[in-house]
Amino acid sequence: MLTGKKVLVTGGTGSLGKVLVRRLLSGEVGLPKQITVFSRDEAKQHTMRLAFERLRIATDEVIYHNFERLLQFRIGDVRDLHSVTTALKDTDVVFNAAALKQVPSCEYFPYEAVQTNITGAENIIRAIRESRLPVETVVGVSTDKACKPVNVMGMTKAIQERLFVRANLDAEHTRFISVRYGNVLASRGSVIPLFHEQIRRGGPITVTTEDMTRFLLSLEQAVDTIFAAMREGARGEMYIPRVPSAKVTDVVAALVGDRKIETVITGIRPGEKIHEILVSEEEAHRTVARGDYYVIQPMLPELLPANKIENPIGHEYSSADNVMTRPEVTDLLRRHKLMVDDRFVYEEDMLA
């Protein structure tokens, strides 16, 4: 599918970006002619370059021959239209993983979230439309927090989803699709590393509320979702993985085991939901099951299938539904090597 294609990964030095790049380099969806990591942090690019080249230090040859390699690195910012337009030149496929995604940061600096999560997406669309760039596919990466959003991060991602749907009417030769998923297990941004550290310190473990549930998936499953959308998705569609959910207290219990460690309930935080939602009741009537995924059809009638949507799921998809038992949670964490006694695999260690 991507054999001989030129691929751009915005935000490619982030948790998802690094695993996505590794999977692209594996050739499982065809070996691209060129993979470009586009981001604004030169230090993260340098570290990522060394990791993929399996080097401890960089020589001049590594840096100066950047644009002769299969994996290339480009400094730039999705907030800057000129920067985006230059990066997209001759690109075939774009994975937009650039984001401001920390909920508290977005609450304190909402316009910064707007510039990255909304303006950044619009700059990709404008560059393709106004410069008539021959981009075949753009895959936007969203979050469960965009569904019935209550925080700035979710609100900006919800707008990004709609921008990419609408873009299909403006750039007829480019397919814009999206994915939406929940909490990623093997990420420094997840709560599990915090629990690990609290357990190693002897506690207490802090939990916001006893009722809280969350969807759980690995970075590999997140990339699986992106590849499924790229392979099968029609213009304007949104792919959502059908993944398990768990009570956060059961995650804590599985990690603590027999240790005598206190758990403290701190109260729900600003901008936080008790249960996350991946498909709302408003979206359910245009959402269908497709293999291991739910697929939300676009709201705009110009992009809807010609035939009536058959067998929509018809109900909200919430993390409160089908919650795993505590033994199932323990088994999931063990399978992903996320127990406290395991060597925790952060995204930085998943490149090789």
Alpha-helical segments (H) within the chain: 15-26, 42-53, 60-64, 81-88, 103-108, 110-113, 120-130, 152-170, 191-200, 219-232, 248-256, 281-284, 326-335
The DSSP output letter for 107 is H
In the DSSP assignment, the letter for residue 70 is S
Instruction: Report the distance separating Cα 94 and Cα 136, nearest Å.
Output: 8
The CA distance from 183 to 276, in Å, is 10
8 Å CB contact between 238 and 179: yes
Active site residues: 145
CA angle 151, 153, 154 (to 5 degrees): 70
No. of helices (H) and no. of strands (E), the chain: 13, 16
